[in-house]
Amino acid sequence: MRVLVTGANGMLGRRVVEAFSAAHEVIATTRVSGDGIEALDVTDGAAIGESFRRIRPDVVVNCAAFTDVDGAESEGDAAYRLNAVAPGNLAWGCREVGAALFHISTDYVFDGEKGAAYDEWDAPRPLSVYGRSKLGGERAVVESGARFWIGRVQWLYDERTPNFATRILDLSCRHPILRVVDDQIGCPTHARHAAEQVQRIVESGRYGLYHMSSRGETSWWGFTRALLDAEGRRDYIVEKVTTDAFPRPAVRPRNAVLRNRALELTIGDAMPAWEAGVEEFTRSRQEMNS
């Protein structure tokens, strides 16, 4: 299988390239070429068509995205161009060459007011420009008529790239106390686990919409506490605060935990508990620093 990955220099994109490379031919792409990665501007429909006709991929995995949630509030055009228009460009390009598209989406398409975990049959209601732009991308993929998978992820992190987990641990080394939000609930998901689930879904051939979250739930405070405890820093003080203590431009869903019901009912849910991701993250960091 020939798999083309967009956004291949990002956290999830790199993991997707690794996941597929063991058994498939992978073409890694990003906006600017370098280090064995081809250039592909996903906002340019003509460039996508030319690239796809030349490469003839069987599957395209779209990891390219505008991920600055707060920045999207002031850069709406850029967010919609990358999160809503580009997935449509890719879907139409796939349709032209007979490829299938796997598009990565987010829990931010929900408002977090359900009071229970969201499954794939719950109606989206995004609260932010970022969430609306990502929902726009989902709809563009569905409306294209291409064969597709949509995989929603949440609270992605790993030890290789800057993200909440790496930043919070860096801050803990420079400050005696941290104050972390405890009233936003989700599920931290290690990027490697999400990437391997993408591969598993693609190889199943079962098209559709899937949630790909790790199992369980916690708050940002709980996630922080688990990261510190895993490093043996159980005495470090982390104070619980509310969202109101840290005003941000974009509204976050208070509880957007995802349930992987579509996986449960089809090929089976292979995603581990979120605590397993923390263990892997900690072990890998220790190996990197040894």
Q: Catalytic residue numbers?
A: 130
Under DSSP, the state recorded for 66 is -
* Cβ contact 16:63 at 8 Å: yes
**What angle, 0 to 180 degrees and rounded to 10, lies between the N-to-C axes of helices 164-172 and 220-230?**
60
Q: What's the DSSP call for residue 273?
A: B
Please report, in angstroms and rounded to a whole number, the separation of the first and last CA atoms in the chain. Answer: 37
Q: Which residues of 210-247 are buried (b: 16+ CB within 10 A; e: fewer)?
A: bbbbbbebbbbbbbbbbbbebbeeeebebebbeeeeee
Three-class SS of residue 270?
A: coil
Using alpha carbons, list the distances in angstroms from residue 172 to 169, 205, 221. Answer: 5, 44, 13
> What is the Cα gyration radius of the chain?
19
Cα 35 to Cα 29, 32, 51, 54, distances in angstroms: 10, 10, 18, 20
Residue 22 and residue 199 in contact, taking contact as beta carbons nearer than 8 Å: no
Nearby residues of 235 by Cβ (< 8 Å), 6 or more positions away: none
Contact 64, 86 (CB under 8 A): yes
Helix, strand, or coil (residue 27): strand
Residue 40 one-letter amino acid? L
